[in-house]
Structures are given as structure tokens and as C-alpha cells.
Structure 1
Amino acid sequence: MDKVRWGIIGCGNVTEVKSGPALQKAEGSELVAVMRRNGALAADYAQRHGVAKWYDDAAALVHDPDVNAVYVATPPGSHHEYSLLALQAGKPVYVEKPMARNHAECQDMIAASEAAGVPLFVAYYRRGLPKFVEIKRLLDSGVIGDVRFVHSTYLQTLRTYEEGTEPWRIQPELSGGGLFVDLASHTLDILDYLLGPIGEVKGFASNQSGGLKQVEDIVTTSYAFESGVMGTGVWSFSSYTHQDVNEIVGSRGKLSFSTFSGDLRIELADGSVEERNIPNPAHVQQPLIQTVVDELRGIGRSPSTGRSAARTNRVMDELLRDFYRAR
């Protein structure tokens, strides 16, 4: 296609700065329509962002002839439904992360994409951010030697909510789980990008605090990448403090970095240490969206596809299966 003309299904908070303006600013891209079930909110978004059309019905947006690609930006509970709607109409889809509530839904979406002959992309936008592109370059250059293992630690203090006010992120029927699914998916996906697919996975999930509506508030894991690199991780959402660090250890050094901020530390066996801060662009999804637009225009490939994103859902399913089976 000469130009990608996007329609957004679900123009909520994530689209205000992170992604909506990026669809307008990417080269070869424009945002032509938005949809929200509340038509007044859709109209307000369209007016504020200079979008020509708005809808309160997803099918109407999908079948608009001016729309030739669809961005599904709803909570995960409707990713499957809306992605299938667009894919079966022959329109490429860019869907928010996590890709769906579970791996089975991901597989349905991939099958629909392949049956229709149109691509499916997922908004794991860290794959396009300068910091993670630089980390991948460092790893590929061998600066820390052969990678041996990775460890991830994510800690967060407990958040409490009044009954009936819980956000969708801790409602499994909408999100697929608790905060682990929303936040750890970013880490698991970027490690897939940096080190390749994860193979065997073992771990435990529990609710230690009694809060968060009995969704998981701690997950621990040990896993092996298909390459032979080993990994461990812990995500605790009822801890005493906040911490976010990933350590990739090699035969000649270590890379330390957070998932959610710009810091990067390089430590080498010769004793040298380098610390960097690589800031995000104003619209964090724009670099990845540009790769999606380029691929749709036939001039490149995006690093975040339905197949790569489904691997992260598979890992999370393995870690959460016993926890939810017991409920």
C-alpha cells in the first residue's frame, strides 16, 4: 500500500500520547478514524487529535473503505474479538500488548491472519526503542562475551482499591491475570527479542497479600532459552519498595538495565564500568509503529509480530496455569 490509513478501535489512555500521535507522525501513515463504544468520547478524541471520522461501532470502522489497517487498543479481553473482525475483513492489525488473554486466543489470531493473508503485529514497542536496540547491538557484538544467564527482579508496593473500583489490569476476565500479565509481559518479550525464544518454563504463582482480588501478586520462574542461555525471575506486587532490574551475565561482563526506564550499565571483566541513560522518544510507540508502517508499504520488516508475541503469552500461561486452575 502507498499509505497506511489507520482506524483505532478503543481510543483510551494508551492512545493519547504513546501511540495515537505516532500513527499520525510516522512516515507514510495517517490516522483517519477512531472508535469507542461511548460515541461522545470517540467524538471528543477525534476533535482533539484532528481525526476526520469517529464511530461507536467497531464493525463500521473496520468496513470503512478509507481504513486499510486497524489498531486494536482495547483491554486484552477484546483483543481476540476485534482482531478477528479486522483480519477476516482483510485488514492488517496492530494490537496492544499483551496480545490476548491466553495463548489459545493468540493462536486463533495468528490462524486468522494467515488465512486472510494479511499481517498481524503486536505493540511490544520496546523492540523499537533506542535503548533496547542498543542493548541488542551490544549483545550481538559480543561485548560481554557468551551470554550465560539472565535474572529479572521487579518489585512494587501493594496497591489497594475499593470494591468495584478495581482497574481492568487486575480483572482476569479482562486482562488474563493480574499485574504480572500487564507488566512482566514487557520484560519477557524484550528478553525474547534480545536472546531468542524461551523454551522450557517452570515456576510458581501465588497471592501472598490477600489483596488484588485474589489475582497473583507474586510469580517466580526458572526457564531456559532455546539457545541454551538460562534465566530466572521474580515479580512481586506486595513488596516494601519499587525495583526494576534485569541482569544479562556473560563470560566477559554484564549488562544491567530496567524494563521501564532509560538506564543501562555495562560492567566488564577488566573492571571498567559505563553507565548510560538512553531516553525514550516523546511518543514511545513511534519507532515500532514506523517498522509496522514500513512493512505494510513493502520497505522493511517489523520485529514484533503475532508469532513473537504469542511466545510471551505461552510463557505466562505456563507460569499462571496452576494458580488459576485452583480457583
Structure 2
Amino acid sequence: MVRIGIIGSGSTIGIAQNHIKAYQCCEDAVITAVYDIAEGRAQGYIEKLEMKDAKACSSLEELFSLCDAVSICTPNSTHVELSVTALKAGKHVLCEKPFAPVPEDCDEALKYAKETGKVAMIGLCYRDIPGFVYMKQLLDEGVMGRIFFVREEQGGDRIADPEVKLEWRMQKELSGPGALADFGSHMMDICDYLLRDICGPICDITAMQDTCIKEREIIGKPGEMGTVNNDDVACWICRTTGGTLYNFTASRVGATFMLEIVGEGGKMTFHGNRPFELTLQLKDKNGGYSKQPEVVPVPESCYGGDKNAPRVPFAINFYYEIRQFLDAIQKGSDTLLTFERGKYIQTLIQYAQDSADRQEIVHINENQGGNQL
């Protein structure tokens, strides 16, 4: 039985609850400790999510004394420091994405992950969404042939409300980029994971950004406004070494979750509000379109085969992320979601940010980290 500590419960989105619910589906894990810097919040989460074996801890040291592994669900700027602290304490680490505000901040965590030999995973869990699993299967089978272009959009609607206060994710010093990092980390991970073997790694990036709501009320200071200093919306285009174009839009002021891949063999489209199906419009690779788009359910083989996996949108991919973490701890299983992967994705985000800042195309070569996994 792996004893789990949860660091950070959150006051808005509360990504920790996705981790907690996934652990609660696993018979070989128990949540024994929860810590949050806000007094009373950890106890509130314990009661809300019925963690009967968990203690609300008053310090990280207390939490570490009660667990074998941790999920870090805190603001981006704290990820590396907390990961290092946990690794030094001898704990396995699953850290939420994005890994850090800038990629060079990640290096210390990579160092201690290597030195300690502990499992060190980054939370890029969207690749276990059944629709994406099915996409990967079709791509690997060669159904799409040569890929012409890709279009992906992710985001959220909550921050479209100007009454939402100035959160840490709207402050560059705490978050790094805004929508670009928050949603772009998943977007570039998914495209690279699905298509790298066919299209090659990303080698060129050009980006633009905008902050749509430039001031918000400071939390705890009624009537006092503060500046939003990172992006609400980011649009960027990437070219791979194989010549394929990826077109990304990330928005926290309203967006649709979708991924469209167009190639010689036709079109396949994933819709985030229907994660258990794909829309396919396939064609002969040497001919034109003669069929209408067809909505196709994801085959049973793409659900992972685990009877404990919840057949609920997004709960299923968080479950498989947690399952991968636990199997790596107990069985020594490999994980693709290493800290190295987290830094690579953060590096791509930084290149996009550099492009937006400099208003020019950024060219990536292998020496700059463009071909790292």
C-alpha cells in the first residue's frame, strides 16, 4: 500500500480533487496526509472528499512523515522547490504541469530526481483520454498517411468573467506565461506524442498573444485593482522537421477543446466534450473525399482494460496517470511522463513566448533542446 500526501488543495479550480478521486479508485493507495498553506483548507478538503485516513498537516515535514509519495498541486512557481524538497525527503513525486515558469528552473528538480532514483513524474495526463488513444492507434496504423496540417484549441470559460479576481495564474512571476503555459503544455505534449514518429519534432515556432482583461481586483483588497501581466489568449504556429504545420490556440476567456488532424487519408477530429468518440472523414490517399464525416465510438481496446478506471470524461485519464505513478513506484514500470519530458514541453512554451516577445519566428535546433524527449 502506497501512502500518499497531497500538497496544495487549491481555492479555485482545485486540480487536487482530480488526483484525490483517482487515488480513491486504486486499492493499493491510501491518502494519509494533506497540506495547504491556507489554514483550514486541507481539513475542508478531507471532509469534502471523505478522506477518512488522511490528516490535515500543519507543515511539509509533518506530511512527509506520513507518506511515501506526493502529488504536488500548487502554483507553477512552487513546483520545482516543492519537488526538490520532497525528493530530498525520500518521497516519490507526481508534479502538476506546467513544470515551472521558465525551463531553466526545472534543472534542480531533474538533478535530484536522478540522484535519489525516486519516481519523478509530470502531470501531462491528456494522452490517456480514450479519443486520443484511438487517434494514436489510427496514426500508428498508417490510416492517415502523410500529415498535411494539425489544428488544436484548448482553454476555459471561467476567467472570461471580469469579476474573477487577480489569481496567481494571471501573474507572470507566479505562473510564467498564462494560457500559453496552462493549456499549451497539454496541447504541445499531445501533438508531439501523437505525431512525432510521423512528422518529426517541432523545429520552428511563431506566436502572438493578447491580454483581454488587463486589470482585476486584487484578492483580499476590495476595490483595489491589479495588472494582469501574462496572456489571456495565445496563438502560435509550429513547423516540424518533416514539414507539417501545427496551428494552436489557447484561451482562458472562452475556448473549445478540439484537435483536428488532416492528411492524405482524410480528416480525424477530437471534440473535448465528446472524449469517447472521434469524427472521421477518411478517403483514399490518392483520391478525393467521397464520404460524409462519420462519428465513430472509441473501441473498447482504447479504454486501458482496467476495471477500476472510471468511464467518466477526464476522470479516466487522471486515473491512468495515477495508475502509472503507482506502478512505477511499486513495479519499477517505465513512465513517459518524466521530469525530462516536463522540461522539454516547458522549453517549447518558452520558445513560443520568445517568439511573441520578439515578434519573429524562433528556430529550434537539437543543441537548443528541440529534439529532446
TM-score, normalisation: structure 1: 0.86
Where structure 2 has 5 or more consecutive residues not aligned to the other structure, the ranges are 216-227, 285-289, 299-311, 360-373
Match of 2:240 among 202, 225, 248: 225
Q: Which residue of 2 aligns with 1:6?
A: 4
* Deviation of the 1:129 alpha carbon: 2.3
Letter of the 2:295 partner, please give it.
Answer: E
Q: Which residue of 2 aligns with 1:306?
A: 339
Determine helix, strand or coil for the equivalent of 2:337: coil
Determine helix, strand or coil for the equivalent of 2:16: helix
Letter of the 2:56 partner, please give it.
Answer: W
Determine helix, strand or coil for the equivalent of 2:231: coil
Q: Does 1:256 align with 2:286?
A: no
Letter of the 2:294 partner, please give it.
Answer: E
* Deviation of the 1:218 alpha carbon: 3.7
Identical-pair percentage: 27
Q: How many residues align?
A: 318
In structure 2, C-alpha distance between the alignment counterparts of 1:254 and 1:81, rounded to whole Å: 43
In structure 1, C-alpha distance between the alignment counterparts of 2:51 and 2:37, rounded to whole Å: 18
In structure 2, C-alpha distance between the alignment counterparts of 1:34 and 1:99, rounded to whole Å: 21
Mapping of residues 1-327 of structure 1, within 5 Å: 3-12=1-10, 13-16=14-17, 18-47=18-47, 48-62=50-64, 64=65, 66-154=66-154, 159-162=160-163, 165-196=165-196, 198-207=201-210, 209=212, 211=214, 213-226=228-241, 228=242, 230-235=244-249, 237=251, 242-258=255-271, 261-262=274-275, 263-270=277-284, 271-272=290-291, 273-276=293-296, 280=313, 282=315, 284-298=317-331, 300-321=333-354, 323=356
Letter of the 1:183 partner, please give it.
Answer: F
> Could you tell which deviates more after superposition, 266-275 or 175-184?
266-275
Would the aligned equivalents of 2:234 and 2:251 in 1 still touch at CA under 8 Å?
A: no
The CA RMSD over aligned residues, in Å, is 2.8
In structure 1, C-alpha distance between the alignment counterparts of 2:297 and 2:111, rounded to whole Å: 40
* Deviation of the 1:284 alpha carbon: 4.4
Instruction: Give a deviation string over 1:3-53, Cα, whole Å, max 9, x none.
Output: 32211111232122x211211222422211111113422122223322332
Letter of the 2:37 partner, please give it.
Answer: R
Instruction: Give a deviation string over 1:151-206, Cα, whole Å, max 9, x none.
Output: 2245777825359x222222222211212221222211111221237332321233
Where structure 1 has 5 or more consecutive residues not aligned to the other structure, the ranges are none
Instruction: Give a deviation string over 1:252-311, Cα, whole Å, max 9, x none.
Output: 122212456525211211434331466626464111111111121116333322122222
Would the aligned equivalents of 2:206 and 2:355 in 1 still touch at CA under 8 Å?
A: no
In structure 2, C-alpha distance between the alignment counterparts of 1:186 and 1:269, rounded to whole Å: 29
Determine helix, strand or coil for the equivalent of 2:258: strand
